[in-house]
Chains A and B, each alone.
Chain A
Amino acid sequence: MSRGSFRRLIGLIRLYALLISAAVRAKMQYKFDFVTSTLLESLMGAYDYMVALAALWRFHTVAGWNIYEVGLLYSVSKIGWGLYRTFLEEVDRFEGYIVRGDYDSILVRPYPSLFVLASRNFALERLSFVIQGAAVMVISLKGLLASGVLSLASVFHLLLAIVWTTLLFSAVGIATSAAAFVIVRIEELQVFTQNATSTASLYPLEIYPAWLRNMLLYVIPLGVGNYIPVRYLLGKGGTWLNLAVPAVVALLSIMLAVWLWRLGETRYHSTGS
């Protein structure tokens, strides 16, 4: 990296810190709202886990995965989702920008539009997903480390898996929101590409029929972020490649998503007179 581009990167990080601190300060004007929504969401988001807990309490395993193992899958996915929402909340809510025509003011700034958009918010309240996922992860790790299935080295790989999952959720989120440049209303589309797939990724993919499994591996590859590495770490098959592939897929997905975003941007038609 040249000196100039390094300086530019540092400048960008400092600007980002300045912008999100402004966003957080603005949010703190409505403290009560913030606290209740954070608390409620960390509880509400746990519903899926409660169901899995009830099911595995009674029936012990799903496709040979016990509650700790499912918990690991679950927590990687939840934390990844939470981090995506925390950092890219405005990307997730992009439909509103298109509907109101607010994207105009993003485009007159001398920085990449995704950077300007993302820096408008730092959704601390979405950390509720992270908190909840982390709690499940701690419980699962405790169980698995005690039984010797996992080593401390695999904990490090789990943290990496969270990074790749976050990037994959970001890629899917960016690509879905890019569709808003053309079709404007994307709320229903998000239910497909984000909610349905993220719910599916909470459980081991082998329970699904081939078409659904392939979709989660090759089309909207959220399964690559948690299932592929966790499967290997738990000794349920695969090779060291299971740890490398997610990194490659996540980076390629992000590149593809940003490309789609730029393509969409040329189709942006602002509202207003």
Chain B
Amino acid sequence: MSFIGHAASPDSLRKYRVLAFKGFIQNLQYTASHLVNSVASAIFGVLEVYFWLNVIPPQGFADYAPLTMVHYITINQAFVWFTQFGIRVRTRVRDAVRSGNVATELMRPIDFYAYHLATEYGSLLYGLLFRGVPVALMLSTLGFYIPKHPATWGWALFALLLGGYIAAANMYMVGLTAFWTTEIRTPYWVMSSLSLGFGGATFPLEVLPDRLYRLARWSPFACLNYNPARIYLELSGPELVLPGLVWAVIVTVIAQALTKIARRNLEVQGG
């Protein structure tokens, strides 16, 4: 049985839309604390802005003028929940494995990977709207870039959606390691450090030493924040969605393969 084929039939696609919608709706109740959280998130944005403005030379560096640097940080602070801090799928998968619910979840007529990703994606979209937008509004007092070409909005959003997908798939795999180890903190630490350090969430990757920069910009992590931000700021063209597309396919294949191994592992152990 192919998992990918299973997930792609039109009827089951509707299921995942419903799951994503549920994930979105569930978050609506927590608006008060989200508001407080957004203010805190904006303050972290302010800290970053002033740090970088004082670090970079007055004429800027690479293709980042000081104002562009401000724009880079403010837009990423709006994105960062979506591609970094908002992702909870690892704990959901881990808890399912630990509690043993995973046995029934794997037997459901619904793809395990797609089920978790869809639920996660819904709540991430909520975060983008109700955390990202307020943060962007608050930080706009420091400077906020509005793209010149209307099409840029679409390309940047597309790149961002791919970034959120890749990030969620990565963390899904972290959660899946619970099948083999009791503690997923080590893989989580490795994954979140790479995502944050090579993702360009708090600074442009050009800041890194040159060799690291070349490595980072072609890694899947650059698709989380760096690529969408460059497209949004019109520093790069729409072709920068391509790495995201390629990596989205690659992480899907790897995640599905890992799920298959995990499932076999479970069957051998007899559930």
A in complex with B: yes
Q: Does the CB pair B193–A44 fall under 8 Å?
A: yes
CB distance from B182 to the nearest CB of A (A): 9
A200 CA to B51 CA in the complex, in Å?
A: 9
Q: A188-B40, A191-B37 are in contact. Are A208 and B50 (CB under 8 A)?
A: yes
Q: A36-B186, A195-B40 are in contact. Are A47 and B47 (CB under 8 A)?
A: no
Measured between beta carbons, the chain A residues less than 8 angstroms from B56 are 59
Contact code string A36-49 (vs B, CB < 8 Å = 1, else 0): 11001001100100
Interface of B, helix, strand, loop or mixed by DSSP: helix
Q: A54-B209, A188-B37, A191-B37 are in contact. Are A203 and B51 (CB under 8 A)?
A: yes
Contact code string B44-56 (vs A, CB < 8 Å = 1, else 0): 1011001111111
A223 CA to B193 CA in the complex, in Å?
A: 27
Measured between beta carbons, the chain B residues less than 8 angstroms from A32 are 183
Interface of A, helix, strand, loop or mixed by DSSP: helix
Q: A55-B203, A196-B47 are in contact. Are A36 and B37 (CB under 8 A)?
A: no
Contact code string B207-231 (vs A, CB < 8 Å = 1, else 0): 1110000000000000000000000
CB distance from A185 to the nearest CB of B (A): 7
CB distance from B49 to the nearest CB of A (A): 10
In the complex, how many residue pairs between chain A and chain B have their CB atoms under 8 Å apart? 74
When the two chains form the complex, which single residue of A43, A57, A188, A207 contacts B33, counting CB atoms closer than 8 Å? A188
Q: Which of B166-224 contact A (CB under 8 A)?
A: 183, 185-186, 189, 193, 196-197, 202-203, 207-209
Q: Which residues of A contact B (CB under 8 A)?
A: 32-33, 36-37, 40, 43-44, 47, 50-51, 54-59, 61-63, 185, 188-189, 191-192, 195-196, 199-200, 203, 207-209, 212
Q: Which residues of B contact A (CB under 8 A)?
A: 33, 36-37, 39-40, 43-44, 46-47, 50-57, 61, 183, 185-186, 189, 193, 196-197, 202-203, 207-209
- Given A55-B207, A212-B47, 19 more A-B residue pairs with CB atoms under 8 Å apart are A33-B183, A36-B186, A50-B197, A51-B202, A51-B203, A55-B51, A55-B52, A57-B209, A58-B61, A58-B209, A59-B57, A59-B61, A188-B40, A192-B40, A192-B43, A196-B40, A200-B47, A207-B50, A208-B50
